[in-house]
Amino acid sequence: MKCLVVLAHPLSRSFSHAVATTVVDTLKKNGHEHKLIDLYRSGFDPRLTDSERAEYYENFDRTALEKEITDLQWAESIILVFPTWWFGPPAILKGWFDRVWAPSIAFDHAEDLGSIKPRLNSLRKVVAFTTLGSPWWVDYFILRRPVRRVLKTAILGTCAPQASFKFMSFYRAERIGNEVAQTTMDRVRVAIEAL
């Protein structure tokens, strides 16, 4: 399977980087093709340019994004690895969705800007791994898992509704000890082996 791994964390010693390393190692071990996009290290700019936004619905200016668009359209599976900050993804990951998952690339609008027609028809699986500083009950009961809802319903639900979706959250990530870290990496391996 062609797997695109998208990493969004600025610190190379972060738990997110350790998860991404486990993901890539497991993909290699299981014979999957893969590409890794480290949004911070690659210098990805999450801001829509004036020309991109001005022509967003008519003739999206994809000039600065050819590599990212090619990678997205190549993928049969996407694995997202990122922290949840303020109960949302990092701005750089949100910007990747804003700029790369654009009209005529990830979806088409009806002429009246009505219903969306999905375009990522070859995308079969999406797995998201996220770390949070909060305990699980805050995410589940107080905020009702906002990142999962946005990814599943708003983004995948409109651009790739046929894709299966697995979402794994790792709570109190700033205080993960060695034993919990090892158990977490085992869960990551199992999820990737199931692709």
pLDDT tens-digit profile of 100-132? Answer: 999 999 999 877 767 889 999 999 999 999 998
Length of the chain: 195
Q: Which residue has the tokens 């020309």?
A: 51
Q: Domain range spanning residue 108?
A: 2-193
Cα angle for residues 153, 90, 49 (degrees, 5° grid): 90
Residue 47 has pLDDT above 70, yes or no: yes
Q: From its phi and psi, is residue 44 left (phi > 0), alpha (psi between -120 and 50) or beta?
A: beta
Number of domains in the chain: 1
Tens digits of residue pLDDT in 141-179: 777 888 999 999 999 999 999 999 999 998 777 777 667
Its pTM stands at: 0.93
Whole-angstrom distance, CA of residue 67 vs CA of residue 5: 14
Q: What mean pLDDT comes out for the span 52-69? A: 88
Residue 116 sits in a domain whose CATH number is 3.40.50.360
- Residue 191 gets the label, from left (phi > 0), alpha (psi -120 to 50) or beta, of alpha
The closest of 120, 106, 104 to 162, measured between CA atoms, is 120
